[in-house]
Structure formats: structure tokens, C-alpha cells
Structure 1
Amino acid sequence: MIIAVDFDGTIVEQKYPKLGKEIPFATSTLKMLQEKGHQLILWTYRSGKKLDDAIEFCRSKGLEFYAVNKNYPEEVFESHISRKIKADMYIDDMNFGGLPDWGEIYQRITDPNRTNSKEKTHKKGLARIFG
């Protein structure tokens, strides 16, 4: 599955243009999704130095993306073409209902038939996944 992931408010706390602190389990969950074969695209409003800072933050956590703000690494971005990313799923804090915790995100992606009860996720999910 191709998953487009926002940065500010999703991987780190919303502090744009500064870098916020990592949202708990964000990078470790994304790395686990990569290990399961998912391709991750960093899809963010950031550009220039601010984008470089976001990429370096993720690298410092051991997270490398398949592509950044494009559909595939070799794509040439032209200013008259929309930056819309083609993905199977988008993880963004601006989703309807906000950003679920990363344990719930992981479970929904890896087991879509699972009941998405936040209570079950908080009690069992994070402890089982990261414990």
C-alpha cells in the first residue's frame, strides 16, 4: 500500500515553521509499516530549508521515505502541475475527526477488519505493539 504522510501535526507536534516534538510512536510506527512492505511518501506543505529540516528529523529517527512531495523518487515536479499525491491512504492531522493515536493507525492499516475501539487500542494495542 502507498501511504502519504503529513509532517506537522502528524509526525511532530504542530509548531510550523519550527520543528515540534515527535508525536509519541509516530516514527516507530511508520518504520514498522515499512517493514510490512508499505511505501511511505512524505507529503507536506514544507519546502526548501524547512523541508530539509523535516527530512533530516525523520532520518535522525531512522525513517527514510520512498518519495517526498511526489509520487515516486524520479518524478520531476513542474510548478504548473498540482502537488496532489496518488496514494492508497493519507495520514494527516487534518483528517475528519483528527489524528488517531499511532497504535490505532497501525492496527487499522495492518488489520482493517479489526474493531477500531479507542478503548481497546489504549489498553491493549500500544502495550502489545511497543511493549
Structure 2
Amino acid sequence: MVIAVDFDGTIVKHKYPAIGKEIPYAIKALKLFQERGHRLILWTYRAGRDLEKAVEFCEKRGLFFYAVNNNFEGEEFDGTYSRKIYADLYIDDRNILGLPDWKELYETMNNEDSEKAKEGKSKF
């Protein structure tokens, strides 16, 4: 599955252009998604040096993206197609119902029932 994930307000608290504190379990959940074979695309408003700082923030924590603001690494935009990122799932704090807790999001995507989580058998 391809997962496009926002940065500000989703991986970190929204403090743009600064980088806010990491939202609990965000990096951990994203790394677990990768371990399950999902491709992650960083999909953010950031550009230039602000974007580089966001990528560096994630990489320092061991999170590396399949692509950044593109459908695949090396994609070039020439104006003949849409800039919308293709993904099977979009994780963003601007969703209509907001951003769920990362533990809940991970468990929902991996069909971990709440009893398993309550028993401490979840990956979290």
C-alpha cells in the first residue's frame, strides 16, 4: 500500500515554519508500516530548506521515505499531469474528522482488536 503522510500537525505538532515536537507514536507507527511493506510518501506544504529540515528530522529518527512530495523518487513535474500525489491512504491532520491517535490508527490499519491492545500485545 502507498501511504502519503503530512508533516506539520501529523508527524510533529504544528509550528511551521519551525519544527514542532514529535506527536507521540507517529514515527514508531510509520516505521511499523514500512516494516509491513508499505511505501511512505512525505506529502507536505513545505518546500526548499524547510522541506529539507523536515526530511532530516525524520531521517535522524530512522524514518526514510519512498518519495518526498512526488509519486516516486526522481519524478519531474512538467505541467502535463496533476500534482496530486497518488496514494492508497492519506494521513493528514486536516482530514474531515482530524487525525486519530497514532496507536489507534496503526491498530485500525492492522486490524488489531482493542482486547489485544488492552492485554499489552499490541506493537505499542
For normalisation by structure 1, the TM-score amounts to 0.85
What's 1:72 paired with? 72
What's 1:7 paired with? 7
- Where structure 2 has 5 or more consecutive residues not aligned to the other structure, the ranges are none
The alignment-based identity, stated in percent, is 56
RMSD: 2.1
* Bigger shift: residues 72-81 or 1-10: 72-81
Match of 1:124 among 114, 118, 121: 118
After superposition, the C-alpha distances for 1:33-73 in whole angstroms (9 at most, x for unaligned) are 00000000000000000000000000011000000000011
More helix by share: 1
For normalisation by structure 2, the TM-score amounts to 0.90
What's 1:42 paired with? 42
Figure out how many residues of one structure are paired with residues of the other and give that number. 123
What's 2:51 paired with? 51
* Bigger shift: residues 81-90 or 22-31: 81-90
What's 1:108 paired with? 108
Counterpart of 1:93, as a letter, is D
Q: Distance in 1 between matches of 2:119 and 2:103?
A: 6
Secondary structure of the 2:122 match is: helix
Tell me the CA shift for residue 80 of structure 1.
6.6
